Amino acid sequence: MDRRDISKALLATAGASALLTTRAEAQTCSSYPINACSYGATGNDMTDDTAALQSWLNASAGRTAYLPKGTYRITSQLTAPDRTTIIGDGRDVSLLRYVGLETIGGGAMLRFANSSAFRVSGIGFRCTRAEIGNSTVQLHLQDCVYFEVSDVSFGATGANSFTNNIRGCLCDQTSAGLVPPRGNGVFRNILYVVEPTDSGASGSRGIHIKGHPSQPMNHVILDGEGNIEHAYYGVVFENANNCYLGPWQMRGSTNTEIVLTRSSNCMIIGPQIVPPPTVGTGISLDASCLDNVIINPAWNFSSGTPLAAISDNGMRTTVIAPGAPGVLQVQGKLNGSFQLRKADGVGNSLEVIRSTTDTNSGVVVRSDANPLAKAFLAINRGSGPAAQDILRIEGGAALFERVGSDGRHYLHVPTSAPLAGEVGQSQMSFYLDENTNQLKVLVRYSNGILKSGMIPLT
């Protein structure tokens, strides 16, 4: 063999070795999803796929697990490994189904525990026996952080009135002292529906975000498209701080659509809320809630007037909301120190406009607990137009009272006597008797005695 033949042979051998090495590296570094069917799962809605699915999940640790279109029956809890992505062909076609009458063994259909950096997307959870003794959690995220749950559906059949105790997703923290604090996750494009409309028993929740009493869960985001229907509570934030709920539809919960308890600095923006008539509540906050914000909820009372639109027992809640229909008008609330600054010529800095039939007060200044040092302080620093009044109180076309820019006080003096019954204890009222040229005053003492006096005018 001459040198040219030897060179050709060496090149061929080197090429084959390189090809084998490349293929081996491709197998070692493969990012292809691991298919559940490769581990014996059938998805035929008849076979018990529990063992096959658990083997599939175990083999998918730290990788992407793929659940093809099908209905996979399970009889006990599946446990997902840390840092694993689970994907399917769609939340209505790649389904995990539990057909038991009582709570599934282990408590949840799929559970992540002490996990981080994982994702669940494009699959659905179904229970076929939503009866009173079945408190199955369909997706349980226990002590988890840095996660995403998206394009997922939760549902159940076989329910009757007030028999559904199924929880769609429970995201909870079971101990304190975890670093980082649990949470920092996203729920996006979520559907929870259990029929009939009054199926929700006291244990059912659509989404339940639950921190530890000694260490709240933080920064859980519910956004995108969401639809939660017919649970007892739609979405619950419990011991959860700095969370967000976006424009989801919250419909037909048998008690309350959105619940905040012992939660602070949460924000609710633009959900459509359809609480059940008579007994339902749109949004509730308990007395341990602090500094939460509710903006622009869309109320739909087409099925009847509920018990309450917003039940706010929290501290320093900010509410920027359109009035709910009918008698359940929502009171807007602002908290903090505010300064209103405007450009010249665009109207008044602040106007309070009431209807002609409104019997409530226009402006009330009060203290929740401690006495007010200054209930109202009007300051004119002299930078406005000349002779600008510090204070004016007008009624119709009449000027009742004003304080000029120099501090002088001017009062409107009526020309007829007040009714004696309108002068309360320790109060006075005066009027001008033009016929006798006298300024007259009525005073009621603290003991109820009414006396009068007069000042002659010249």
Residue 362 lies in a domain: no
Residue 448 lies in a domain: yes
Per-residue pLDDT tens over the stretch 371-404: 767 666 666 555 555 567 777 787 777 788 888 8
More confidently predicted of 384 and 408? 408
More confidently predicted of 303 and 52? 52
**pLDDT for 34:** 98
Q: Which of 298, 183, 288, 193 is nearest to 244 (CA)?
A: 183
Residues 141-152: what's their mean pLDDT? 98
Q: Which of 254, 289, 314 represents a domain boundary (last residue)?
A: 254
Residue 4 lies in a domain: no
Q: Which of 254, 273, 300 represents a domain boundary (last residue)?
A: 254
Residue 77 lies in a domain: yes
Work out the mean pLDDT of the chain and round it to a whole number.
88
> Which amino acid is located at 166 in the chain?
I
Per-residue pLDDT tens over the stretch 108-138: 999 999 999 999 999 999 999 999 999 999 9
More confidently predicted of 270 and 371? 270
Q: Indicate if 85 and 234 belong to the same structural domain.
A: yes
430: pLDDT strictly greater than 90: no
* Phi and psi based region of residue 13 (left: phi greater than 0; alpha: psi -120 to 50; beta: remaining): alpha
CB atoms within 10 A of CB 106: 15
Residue 268 lies in a domain: no
Three-state SS letters, 214-252: CECEEEEEEEEEEEEECCCEEEEEECEECCEECCCEEEC
Residue 143 lies in a domain: yes
Residue 322 lies in a domain: no
Residue at token pair 């060496």 = 10
Per-residue pLDDT tens over the stretch 277-298: 889 999 999 999 999 999 999 9
Q: Which of 214, 229, 254 represents a domain boundary (last residue)?
A: 254
The enclosing domain of 146 has a CATH number of 2.160.20.10
Per-residue pLDDT tens over the stretch 65-85: 999 999 999 999 999 999 999
* Total domains present in the chain: 2
Q: Domain range holding 58?
A: 32-254
**pLDDT for 395:** 76
User: Residue 409: pLDDT band by 50, 70, 90 thresholds?
Assistant: confident
442: pLDDT strictly greater than 70: yes
With a pLDDT cut of 90, the percent of the chain lying above it is 65
164-168, 169-173, 423-427, range with the lowest pLDDT: 423-427
Q: Indicate if 249 and 396 belong to the same structural domain.
A: no
Q: Which of 55, 53, 96 is nearest to 72 (CA)?
A: 96
Residue 378 lies in a domain: no
447: pLDDT strictly greater than 90: yes
User: Residue 325: pLDDT band by 50, 70, 90 thresholds?
Assistant: low
What's the CA gap between 199 and 193, in Å, rounded? 10
**What are residue 38's phi and psi, to 5 degrees?**
-70, -15
102: pLDDT strictly greater than 80: yes
Is residue 98 within 8 A of residue 75, CB to CB? The reply is yes
